[in-house]
Amino acid sequence: MEFSVPIEPDDEGYLGRECPECEKYFKIKGGTGIPDVPGCHCPYCNHVDGHDTFWTKAQIEYAQSVALHEVSRHLLGEMKKMERRPDRNAFISIGITVKGEPTPIARYSERELEERVTCAACTLQYTIYGAFGYCPDCGVHNSQQIACANFDLSLKLLDLAAGAEANVQAKLVENALEDVVSAFDGFGREHCAGLAYKLSFQNIDAARTKLQKEEGFDIGAGVAQDEWDFVCEQFQKRHLLAHKMGIVDEEFVRKTDSRLPVGRKVPIEEADVRSLVKILKTVVDTLYGGVARR
CA–CA dist 280, 238 (Å, integer): 14
The CB-of-24 to Zn ion minimum distance in angstroms stands at: 5
- 170 counts as binding Zn ion under rule CB under 5 A: no
Window contacting Zn ion (CB under 5 A); options: 83-91, 94-102, 128-136, 161-169: 128-136
| Interface with Zn ion, residue 37, by CB under 5 A | no
Task: Determine the interface stretch with Zn ion among 41-49, 94-102, 210-218, 283-291 (rule: CB under 5 A).
Answer: 41-49
Output the smallest distance, CB 37 to Zn ion, in A: 9
**Residue from 5, 48, 121, 155 in contact with Zn ion (CB under 5 A):** 121
Give 219's contacts (C-beta < 8 A, 6+ positions apart): 207, 208, 211, 283, 286, 287, 290, 291
The reply to whether 185 sits near Zn ion by the rule CB under 5 A is no
* For the chain, counts of helices (H) and of strands (E): 7, 6
Size of the site for Zn ion (CB under 5 A): 14
Residue 122 interacts with Zn ion (CB under 5 A)? yes
Q: Quick one: which segment of 3-11, 67-75, 93-101, 121-129 binds Zn ion (CB under 5 A)? A: 121-129
Q: Is 10 exposed, middle or buried (0-12, 13-18, 19+ CB in 10 A)?
A: middle
Q: How many CB atoms lie within 10 A of CB 253?
A: 15
Q: Give the three-class secondary structure for 264.
A: coil
Per CB under 5 A, 29 contacts Zn ion: no
Q: Does 21 bind Zn ion (CB under 5 A)?
A: yes
Contact pattern from residue 44 through residue 83 relative to Zn ion, giving x for each residue in contact according to CB under 5 A and a dash for the rest: xx-x------------------------------------
**Only segment of 130-138, 164-172, 188-196, 207-215 that touches Zn ion (CB under 5 A):** 130-138
Distance of CA 156 to CAs 67, 145, 266, 277, Å?
Answer: 52, 16, 23, 12
Question: Binders of Zn ion among 81-110, rule CB under 5 A?
Answer: none
Phi, psi of 214 (to 5 degrees): -85, -35
Q: Which of 3, 12, 22, 262 binds Zn ion (CB under 5 A)?
A: 22
Confirm or reject binding of residue 128 to Zn ion (CB under 5 A).
no
Among 15, 19, 58, 66, binds Zn ion (CB under 5 A): 19
Nearer to Zn ion (CB atom), residue 124 or residue 223: 124
Helices within the chain (DSSP H only):
57-80, 143-161, 166-191, 204-215, 225-243, 250-256, 270-290
Query: Which residue, 135 or 204, is less far from Zn ion as judged by CB?
Result: 135
Least distance (Å) between residue 117 CB and Zn ion: 9
Beta strand pairing status for 39-41 and 14-18?
unpaired
- For residues 46 and 202, which CB has a smaller minimum distance to Zn ion in the complex? 46
Q: How far apart are the first and last CA of the chain?
A: 46
CA distance 137 to 28: 9
Annotate 148-167 with DSSP letters as a single string. Answer: HHHHHHHHHHHHHHTTS-HH
- 136 DSSP 8-state letter: T
- 41 lies in the site for Zn ion, by CB under 5 A: no
Binding interface with Zn ion (CB under 5 A): 19, 21-22, 42, 44-45, 47, 119, 121-122, 124, 135, 137-138
